[in-house]
Amino acid sequence: MTELERKHLVETDRHIAECKEYIAKQHELIQRAIKQGRSTEVAETTLEALEVSLRAFERQRRLLLHRLKSASDDHHRQEPDHDLRAERIVIYRPKDAGTYVIELRTAAGEALAISIPASETRVVRRA
């Protein structure tokens, strides 16, 4: 395993752990909103986006491990079906209307964009 491959695996594992934390906190937000009688529509949409992100990161990790195992077994690198770095999550700053847009895109070309009013956003964790 090269240093770059090791760093990529560590980064992917970090993304998975962070995403799981965000999902747990989003569940808490939803439960709190339910108890307070507030709408959970935006929170549930955000939760769905986080779950899609988690699945993408886990898929990326599996592909990376498969590629590393294949390279180790065969002493040569086998390329995955698609570029691992092509999967991405982008959060755009609020537009003039104060709406955040979260875009999730897989290497296979699948995309999901979610608009969230700034008034419905919460800080899940400060870095």
**Each residue's pLDDT expressed in tens, for the chain with a length of 127 residues:** 678 888 888 999 999 999 999 999 999 999 999 999 999 999 999 999 999 999 999 998 988 888 887 776 655 444 445 455 566 776 666 666 677 677 777 666 677 677 677 677 665 554 4
pLDDT at 39: 93
Backbone angles phi, psi at 73, to 5 degrees: -65, -45
Return d(Cα 54, Cα 118) in angstroms, integer: 23
Instruction: For the chain, count helices (H), then strands (E).
Output: 2, 3
Domain ranges of the chain: 3-120
pLDDT at 4: 82
The pTM (predicted TM-score) of the whole model is 0.58
Edge-to-edge strand list for the sheet holding 111-117: 88-92, 99-105, 111-117
